[in-house]
Amino acid sequence: MSSAGSCNDTEFDMTLPATAAVKREAKARRSAKRRNFAIRIASVAALLLVWEICGMFTPRIFLSPFHDSVTAFWRLATDGTLLAATSSSLLVLLAGLAISILIGVPLGLVMGRHVRWDWALSPYVNGLYATPTVALLPLLSLWLGLYLAPKIALVVLLAIFPIIKNTYAGVTTLGDELLEPARSMQASQLQIARLVIAPATVPFVMAGLRLAVGRGIVGLVVGEFFTAQTGLGGLVIRHASSFRTAEMFVPIFVLVALGYGLTALVLLMQERIAPWKETERDLGA
């Protein structure tokens, strides 16, 4: 009885350091999150302070103080101008990203799994990825007009290639230790693609989508600059042409917030869809 009791006491004593270590690690993570959040807030506050001070000593046609942009934001938000422009831009961006995912992910999977498809498509993917897409805008405008279609096409042309390249990288980096067990159980190609390849490539796809968000916003703004001047890009051009810098910064604020919010949303989706893998390769950056 005494030996059994001493054994239980020893096991209990061994769990105490482990539990304490887990608690210390969790506390350290919470402290690191609070510290990082404080650093971000401080950096933003410092930038806004410098902006406010510089704007006071600069002519308004070059730079207005930050409080003027806040007033302009409230005015554009209350009269509906900002909401209409944001809705128009968001429609184009989400449509372009959706098309990029629907086309880019299957293409990346096919190129990664079949060498002949890789040989056939990689020159076009690599060539178009390196091509300044703005050079194609006159052709897109000629083919598709000046309104919604060329803007969506420009977003797709900029956003699709990071998705293709990251999906391709996810497939080609799969090791035999994942594929051989499925082959040994005589799984079909469809079952291997659905049960092995797709889960393993999810982090790569999400990394490509994060890159696609930033490139898609660039395509959106360029399209709104040089086609029908609508949306947030149209607001920037409209106010810049009349030297109203306070109003010009308002759509820029919204574009920055849009990019940050969509990127954070993709990260949240990745944590929910693929929590088993926290690191991935951002190929195509």
Residue 274 clears pLDDT 90, i.e. is over it? no
pLDDT tens digits along 154-186: 999 999 999 999 999 888 887 666 666 666 666
* pLDDT score recorded for residue 187: 66
What tokens does 209 get?
């989508």
pLDDT tens digits along 192-237: 666 677 777 888 888 899 999 999 999 999 888 888 778 898 899 9
84 — pLDDT class (breaks 50, 70, 90): very high
Q: 145 or 14: whose pLDDT is higher?
A: 145
* pLDDT score recorded for residue 158: 92
* pLDDT score recorded for residue 273: 76
- Contact assessment for residue 125 and residue 187, using Cβ atoms and an 8 Å cutoff: no
Task: Give dist(CA 153, CA 90) in Å, integer.
Answer: 14
Q: 218 or 33: whose pLDDT is higher?
A: 218
pLDDT tens digits along 99-156: 999 999 999 988 888 888 889 888 888 888 888 877 788 888 888 877 888 899 999 9
pLDDT tens digits along 17-32: 556 666 677 677 777 7
Residue 11 clears pLDDT 80, i.e. is over it? no
pTM, entire model: 0.79
Residue 58 clears pLDDT 60, i.e. is over it? yes
Can you tell me the mean pLDDT for 79-85?
90
91 exposed, middle or buried (CB, 10 Å; 0-12, 13-18, 19+)? middle
* pLDDT score recorded for residue 132: 82
* pLDDT score recorded for residue 212: 93
Residue 282 clears pLDDT 50, i.e. is over it? no
Can you tell me the mean pLDDT for 251-273?
88
* pLDDT score recorded for residue 276: 57
